[in-house]
Amino acid sequence: MPYEKFDVAKLERLNDPARFEYLDPETIWQVAGIADPHVVIEVGAGTGMFACRFAELAPNAVIYAVDVEPTMVRWMVEHRVPALSGRLKPTLSHETMIPLPTGEADVVVMLNVHHELADPTSTYREALRLLRIGGSIVVADWAPGDLTGGPPQGVRVPASEIAALLGKVGFADVVTHDALPRHSLISARKPAVCAL
């Protein structure tokens, strides 16, 4: 499957608040469906703009803002942490091996990450490992056909393909939501019977 990594030289684009207009954090949060999470992990957090918003929406949670790029993690450490009283935890990671405990998270969020994954199956399996039983994953990525921005069409996949992959790695209650104007939006849960 083709994929395309974000160019870290364009880091400041990730801090544009206009992104909230078409990738609404409140909509994403409602889809997660977890009322009072204690641990939230954003995989591919970039500069942490959405992680900060999730921290506001989940005032009792620790937010792990995970990224594979040292430049992004360094940026978060230098710019984001003090405003959140230590609840935002920038975390350097490998794409398919995140250095956090099994069953730790109530919610895992992946925004505009699917098209960057070299090995989506392993990455989603890792997300499943991180979640507690009943925990929720929310995936949003640029929809094929949308021409208003984002990555090339050749690296985008339909929501149905992401949903099928989540089911294949072991997620349950996989639902595709028609709630974002430019993005596919999919949620799923970690089932009670799970090998991870």
Tokens of 142: 């640029």
| DSSP 3-state of 97 | strand
Tokens of 36: 């009072």
pLDDT at residue 82 above 80? no
The residue that leads in pLDDT, 147 or 93, is: 93
Residues 142, 118: Cα–Cα separation, whole Å: 16
Band of the pLDDT at 127, cuts 50, 70, 90?
very high
Q: How many residues does the chain have?
A: 196
**Range with the lowest mean pLDDT among 113-122, 148-157, 182-191?**
148-157
Q: What does the angle CA 125 – CA 174 – CA 62 come to, to the nearest 5 degrees?
A: 60
Query: Which residues on adjacent β-strands are paired with residue 186?
Result: 139, 176
pLDDT at residue 146 above 70? yes
Tokens of 120: 């989506």
Query: What percentage of the chain has pLDDT greater than the value 70?
Result: 93
Enter the pTM of the model. Answer: 0.93
